[in-house]
Amino acid sequence: MLKTLTTDFELDLEADVLVIGGGPAGTWAAWSAASSGARVVLVDKGYCGTTGCAAASGNGVWYVPPDPEARETAKASRESLGGFLSDRSWMDRVLDQTYANVNQLAEWGYPFPTDDEGKPYRRSLQGPEYMRLMRRQIQRAGVKILDNSPALELLVDDDGAVAGATGVNRQTGEKWIVRSQSTIIATGGCAFLSKALGCNVLTGDGYLMAAEAGAEMSGMEFSNAYGISPAFSSVTKTLFYNWATFTYEDGTVIPGASSHRRSVIAETLLQQPVYAIIDKAAESMRASMRLAQPNFFLPFDRAGIDPFTQRFPVTLRLEGTVRGTGGIRIVDESCSSSVRGLYAAGDAATRELICGGFTGGGSHNAAWAISSGYWSGKSAAEYSRSLGEYKTQRQVKGVGEVGLHSGSDRSQTLATDEIIQAVQAEVFPYEKNYFRTEQGLTESLGKLNHLWQELRSSRVKSDNELIRAREAAAMVATARWMYSSAIERKETRGMHKHQDYPELDANQQHHLISGGLDRVWVKTQPLLKSKIQNPKSKIGVAV
Amino acid sequence: MIELVSESRCIKCNICVNICPTNVFDRVPDAPPTIARQSDCQTCYMCELYCPVDALYVAPESDVTTSVNEAELAEVGLLGSYREKIGWGHKRTSTAKTDQTFQILKQMK
């Protein structure tokens, strides 16, 4: 049993700011905190530079020059798709910050291409290159990186403020503790080990840890994102399916199926295989496609398929809250959660503020990671400074529970793999998660609640299983917030498709806040109408 | 899924062990790393990109294991093909520089 202050830690560190997660949001947070003069430790379950969905793929960026007309178009284009839940002032902030930070990337040496007119083109980032650069930059800024070091639980002080985390090095088994004045959760979303490209490190760990410290979620009903991939492959990159024709096995075109109307594909997949062919791409474009997204073609080249001339089977892989928009609720412009000392950034945080209830795909999420990472880092550093001498005198304790017990006080041994399969069986199927019904959601929730009880009353066999057990617990908790919220939203809005309530209901133009562990709760929260508060007075203050 | 750590090419640098996001490899003293947790492989190809000697091969099938033949893979140029495509490695230039996404998006209405 890994219990804080009673266990010896092989690695015991102090920091002003602890960043959990080493993808785009985590690295931007670490860079901005370190640049503000904070001592920063960044821990990652994997390796900072290759971890997370951006590193493995890359994507567009919501990068719009400060031209009023272009900005207006950028903001307006998604408002109705998102079900009118986004907030224009947040969009403005994100557009401004993203523009500045992407230009910073160019100064750091990211090799942006030039367009036809010889102008730099900065609306696309290739993941491996981007994240390798970010790792180098945070190292230069003095950030201490612990790779292969998943956090297992947060630490809180006597007043309930978050004060660091403990975890384990998954390769050496050494336990670590980082005592910090503030903590940023940048652990990404949750894709339930679906093998969507780069998403298997994203198991909702940060949500669980944050909730154990008392944080709330927002928008968890917007969690049914599915990406198109060849049926045999992990490569869920959907841009090029804009030029695809979708057919049945016999080659007949499936009416209405397109990359924008994935529900038609999902409906068909419930009955029979679906095939695609990228035959609408003109010859002249094919070379450009290869140069734009080399990894899209990798599985095809290796499987001996020419996707422009040969049909291939496709599937939809769940991307859950990675390309959904739900996550930890943000309470102010500092990207603070509702718990003192705890901030959230990137996909771990709600993206409803800029996307409403419909995925921004890669580009909005990339922009959000950059800007929320930047703000949370800066704010966490300021908050740490504000604590002054008090910071060294705090008594702290770990607040993690479910999945952390390897002691002999519980009789039942945790069947981790079975729990994971059981939660996947509730969130993967299109008929349960894509096309939601009152009855289906209720049945799933019953099973998920039962799984939670099982986790609650079991112990893990050994310390080696702690990491996977915590992932299992995080996935079950995430699924319960998702479906509890989905039941409360009795309408169809954004990506949330409710079969029993197929229309958008003007009376439900609000956010759904959720939380709780043994007892999950959901409540409505009216939209904030663009109340920009003075960031200085808000930083670090719980609301 | 990861299917090959080439005995002949591997220089035992263990970079793949360190950088795999899902901790698939185990280091072995004086020998190439082993594929210790193959089913955890998420088929993200990052290990191939970071391998300095193109000793790794990730098969495109993400849910099932397949058998591969190293000589054949080398023959058809698939060992290290992704690293080459993105322009990583000695005397190569990152192809991020020639990213043609702007051409693609021009065609999108």
Cα A474 from Cα A452, distance rounded (Å): 10
pLDDT given for residue A97 in this prediction: 98
Give, for A156, the enclosing helix (H) or strand (E): strand A151-157
Nearest to A183 by CA among A210, A204, A201: A210
**Token representation of residue A295:** 């990894």
Strand partners, A524: A512
* Distance in Å, alpha carbon of B45 to nearest chain A alpha carbon: 7
Find the closest chain A residue to B78 by CA distance. A302
The side-by-side arrangement of strands in the sheet containing A327-328 is A327-328, A217-218, A510-515, A521-526
Count of Cβ atoms closer than 10 Å to residue A410 Cβ = 14
**Cβ atoms B71, A231 nearer than 8 A:** no
Q: Is B19 within 8 Å of chain A by CB?
A: yes
pLDDT given for residue A389 in this prediction: 67
pLDDT given for residue A533 in this prediction: 42
- A-facing residues of B in 51-70 (CB < 8 A) are 59-64
Residues of chain B in contact with residue A116, where contact means CB-CB under 8 angstroms, are: 102-103
Count of Cβ atoms closer than 10 Å to residue A516 Cβ = 15
Cα A54 from Cα A236, distance rounded (Å): 12
Cα B81 from Cα B91, distance rounded (Å): 15
What confidence tier does A120 reach under pLDDT thresholds 50, 70, 90?
A: very high
**pLDDT at A206 > cutoff 70:** yes
Sign of the C-alpha dihedral computed for residues A532, A533, A536 and A541 taken in this order? negative
Exposure of A263 by Cβ count < 10 A (0-12 exposed, 13-18 middle, 19+ buried)?
A: middle
pLDDT given for residue A392 in this prediction: 62
pLDDT given for residue A356 in this prediction: 96
Q: For a pLDDT cut of 70, what percent of chain A falls above it?
A: 94
The per-residue DSSP string of A181-200 comes to EEEEE----B-TT---TT-T
**A162 vs A537, more confident:** A162
pLDDT in tens, A352-363: 999 999 987 779
Backbone angles phi, psi at A253, to 5 degrees: -70, 135
* Distance in Å, alpha carbon of A516 to nearest chain B alpha carbon: 29
pLDDT in tens, A244-263: 999 999 999 999 999 989 99
**pLDDT at A541 > cutoff 50:** no
**Cβ atoms A326, A243 nearer than 8 A:** no
- Average pLDDT rounded to a whole number, residues A350-376: 93
Count of Cβ atoms closer than 10 Å to residue A107 Cβ = 7
Q: Are strands A396-398 and A151-157 parallel, antiparallel or unpaired?
A: antiparallel
**Cβ atoms B20, B42 nearer than 8 A:** no
**Cβ atoms A42, A22 nearer than 8 A:** yes
**pLDDT at A326 > cutoff 50:** yes
pLDDT given for residue A500 in this prediction: 98
Residues of chain B in contact with residue A242, where contact means CB-CB under 8 angstroms, are: 108
**Token representation of residue A541:** 């203050």
pLDDT given for residue A2 in this prediction: 38
Cα A210 from Cα A245, distance rounded (Å): 43
In the block, residue with structure tokens 């002249």: A284
Whether residue B62 and residue A170 make contact (CB cut-off 8 A), yes or no, is no
What confidence tier does A467 reach under pLDDT thresholds 50, 70, 90?
A: very high
pLDDT given for residue B107 in this prediction: 83
The per-residue DSSP string of A108-127 comes to HT----B-TTS-B--SEEEH
Find the closest chain A residue to B79 by CA distance. A302
pLDDT given for residue A537 in this prediction: 35
In the block, residue with structure tokens 């503030």: A182
Compute CA distances B42 → A50, B4, B22, whole Å. Answer: 12, 15, 7
pLDDT given for residue A463 in this prediction: 77
Find the closest chain B residue to A119 by CA distance. B102
Task: Please name the residues in contact with A479: beta carbons below 8 A apart, sequence gap of 6 or more.
Answer: A192, A423, A426, A427, A444, A448
pLDDT in tens, A469-493: 999 999 999 999 999 999 999 999 9
- Average pLDDT rounded to a whole number, residues A431-459: 96
Q: Are strands B56-58 and B2-5 parallel, antiparallel or unpaired?
A: antiparallel
pLDDT in tens, A261-317: 999 999 999 999 999 999 999 998 999 999 999 999 999 999 999 999 999 999 999
Cα A131 from Cα A354, distance rounded (Å): 23
* Distance in Å, alpha carbon of A362 to nearest chain B alpha carbon: 13
Helix (H, G, I), strand (E, B) or coil at A232: coil
Q: Are strands A225-230 and A162-168 parallel, antiparallel or unpaired?
A: unpaired
Q: Name the residue type at position A213.
A: A
- Average pLDDT rounded to a whole number, residues A221-226: 96
- Average pLDDT rounded to a whole number, residues B55-76: 97
Find the closest chain B residue to A197 by CA distance. B44
Residues of chain B in contact with residue A121, where contact means CB-CB under 8 angstroms, are: 99, 101-102
**pLDDT at A532 > cutoff 70:** no
What confidence tier does A58 reach under pLDDT thresholds 50, 70, 90?
A: confident
**pLDDT at A4 > cutoff 60:** no
**pLDDT at B67 > cutoff 60:** yes
pLDDT given for residue A411 in this prediction: 67
pLDDT given for residue A77 in this prediction: 86
Helices of type H across A352-432? 352-355, 361-387, 416-427
pLDDT in tens, A417-432: 999 999 999 999 999 9
> If you count residue pairs, one on A and one on B, with CB atoms under 8 Å apart, how many are there?
153
Cα A324 from Cα A225, distance rounded (Å): 5
Q: Is B21 within 8 Å of chain A by CB?
A: yes
Whether residue B42 and residue A239 make contact (CB cut-off 8 A), yes or no, is no
DSSP percent split of chain A into helix, strand, coil, nearest 5 = 40, 20, 40
**Token representation of residue A149:** 């070091």
pTM: 0.95
Q: For a pLDDT cut of 90, what percent of chain A falls above it?
A: 87
The complex's ipTM?
0.97
Q: Mean pLDDT for chain A?
A: 93
